[in-house]
């Protein structure tokens, strides 16, 4: 029989692990998106404005993955 | 972050209403509707300032739809434009100092999009719309493109996507706004008056980006549902 204090501690630990690994993926994603933007702009400087719009879109999409982890972590904190 | 939950009893079922979300949603709707009424009141060939602003907003929607959907694209403007304008207004409302008003049960007035019920409702509307448009454009071929192994696997993937697409749409918008509010309140605890300011400016950027992402994904789903198969 596991007591509630241990469950709460483990839930907090799990929340930390969840947001940590989630942030790794999103960080990699935004890094790749920035690399793509830099490549495109250094090859063709005239597309900078258009490419930046697509970059923001892609960065927001990959950042959302970290926020899914954040929501899970927040749900775990409530345990 | 807490909601003011009011429980109704309808025919023996308990129905919970988040009253603060409903109030802030009506406020955002009122802002959009009043802006639309004011912008369309005295239309003329030589546009005034308000008409010029609203025309450039409409040009943004037309341009995006033209580049992303092939045929009959401009008939989707009402859904797409109202989604974008409503989400932008709702997200920006979170930066207004409405949270100093204390409601019952710890509820507070913030952006309505920090409630997953609202974003999920919008995502379900998008799902119904694009499935309807796909059926109208392609008929039963929308579900089963060709009767072969690949076709059946693709049909199963399509059915799976009908669940995952609204789920990701709803959670993306909700989590961004919710995380922003928590970030601001953490910064408020760290160093009040100074630290929240840059984060709130960043949240204004996030408000526009998330509204654009919601609109772009809606357009992409409609486009992939209605495009001609080769």
- What values do phi and psi take at A35, rounded to 5? -60, -45
Mean pLDDT of B176-205: 88
- What values do phi and psi take at B107, rounded to 5? -75, 155
Minimum mean pLDDT range among A49-63, B21-35, B138-152, B193-207: B138-152
CA-based Rg of chain B, rounded to a whole angstrom?
Answer: 21
Q: Is the pLDDT of residue A72 over 70?
A: yes
Measure the CA–CA gap between A66 and B98, rounded to whole angstroms.
28
Structural domain containing residue A32: 4-77
- What values do phi and psi take at A7, rounded to 5? -60, -45
Contacts of A64 in chain B (CB under 8 A): 168, 171-172, 175-176, 213
What percent of chain B shows pLDDT beyond 90?
A: 35
CB contact under 8 A, A60 and B213: yes
Contacts of B176 in chain A (CB under 8 A): 60, 63-64, 67
Whether B18 and chain A come into contact, CB under 8 Å, resolves to no
In this prediction, residue A43 carries a pLDDT of: 94
Per DSSP, the three-state class of B70 is: coil
* Confidence category of residue A78, pLDDT binned at 50, 70, 90: confident
Measure the CA–CA gap between B116 and B171, rounded to whole angstroms.
7
CB contact under 8 A, B175 and A57: no
Whether A60 and chain B come into contact, CB under 8 Å, resolves to yes
* Confidence category of residue A50, pLDDT binned at 50, 70, 90: confident
* Confidence category of residue B1, pLDDT binned at 50, 70, 90: low
* pTM of the model as a whole: 0.87
Structure ipTM over 0.85, yes or no: no
* Confidence category of residue B229, pLDDT binned at 50, 70, 90: low
Measure the CA–CA gap between B176 and B209, rounded to whole angstroms.
10
Q: Is the pLDDT of residue B230 over 60?
A: no
pLDDT tens digits along B34-93:
999 998 888 888 888 888 899 999 999 998 888 888 777 788 899 999 999 999 999 998
Q: Are B171 and B120 in contact (CB under 8 A)?
A: no
* Confidence category of residue A37, pLDDT binned at 50, 70, 90: very high
Mind telling me how many Å the CA of B172 is from chain A's nearest CA? 6
Measured in whole angstroms, how far is the alpha carbon of residue A32 from the centre of its chain? 13
- CATH number, domain with residue A29: 1.20.20.10
pLDDT tens digits along B91-146:
998 888 877 777 766 677 888 888 889 999 999 999 999 999 989 888 888 888 77
CB contact under 8 A, B179 and A67: yes
Q: Is the pLDDT of residue A1 over 70?
A: no
Per-domain boundaries in chain B: 5-226
Q: Are A76 and A15 in contact (CB under 8 A)?
A: yes
CB contact under 8 A, B178 and A56: no
In chain B, which residue's Cα lies nearest the Cα of A19? B179
In this prediction, residue B139 carries a pLDDT of: 83
Measure the CA–CA gap between B129 and B226, rounded to whole angstroms.
11
pLDDT tens digits along B157-180:
888 989 999 999 999 999 999 888
Mind telling me how many Å the CA of B66 is from chain A's nearest CA? 16
CB contact under 8 A, B171 and A71: yes
Q: Is the pLDDT of residue A65 over 80?
A: yes
First to last CA, chain A: 17
Q: Are B47 and B55 in contact (CB under 8 A)?
A: yes
Count of domains observed in chain A: 1
């Amino acid at each position: 029989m596991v007591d509630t204090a241990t469950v709460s501690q483990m839930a907090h630990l799990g929340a930390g692990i969840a947001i940590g690994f989630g942030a790794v993926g999103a960080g990699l994603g935004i890094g790749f998106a920035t690399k793509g933007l830099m490549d495109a702009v250094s090859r063709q400087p005239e597309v900078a404005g258009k490419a930046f719009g697509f970059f923001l879109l892609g960065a927001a999409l990959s950042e959302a993955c970290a926020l899914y982890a954040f929501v899970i972590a927040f749900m775990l904190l409530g345990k | 972050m807490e909601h003011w939950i009011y429980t109704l009893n309808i025919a023996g079922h308990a129905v919970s209403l988040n009253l603060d979300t409903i109030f802030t949603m009506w406020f955002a709707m009122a802002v959009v509707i009043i802006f639309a009424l004011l912008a369309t009141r005295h239309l003329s060939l030589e546009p005034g300032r308000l008409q010029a602003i609203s025309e450039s907003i409409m040009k943004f929607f037309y341009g995006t739809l033209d580049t992303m959907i092939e045929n009959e694209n401009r008939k989707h403007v009402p859904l797409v434009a109202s989604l974008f304008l409503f989400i932008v207004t709702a997200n920006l409302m979170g930066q207004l100092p409405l949270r100093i008003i204390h409601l019952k049960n710890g509820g507070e007035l913030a952006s309505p999009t920090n409630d997953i019920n609202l974003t999920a409702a919008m995502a379900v509307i998008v799902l119904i719309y694009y499935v309807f448009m796909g059926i109208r454009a392609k008929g039963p071929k929308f579900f089963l493109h060709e009767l072969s192994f690949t076709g059946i696997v693709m049909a199963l993937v399509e059915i799976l996507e009908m669940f995952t697409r609204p789920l990701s749409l709803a959670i993306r918008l909700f989590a961004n706004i919710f995380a922003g509010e928590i970030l601001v309140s953490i910064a408020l605890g760290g160093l009040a008056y100074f630290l929240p300011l840059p984060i709130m400016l960043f949240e204004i950027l996030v408000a526009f980006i998330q509204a654009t992402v919601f609109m772009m994904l809606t357009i992409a789903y409609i486009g992939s549902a209605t495009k001609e198969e080769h």
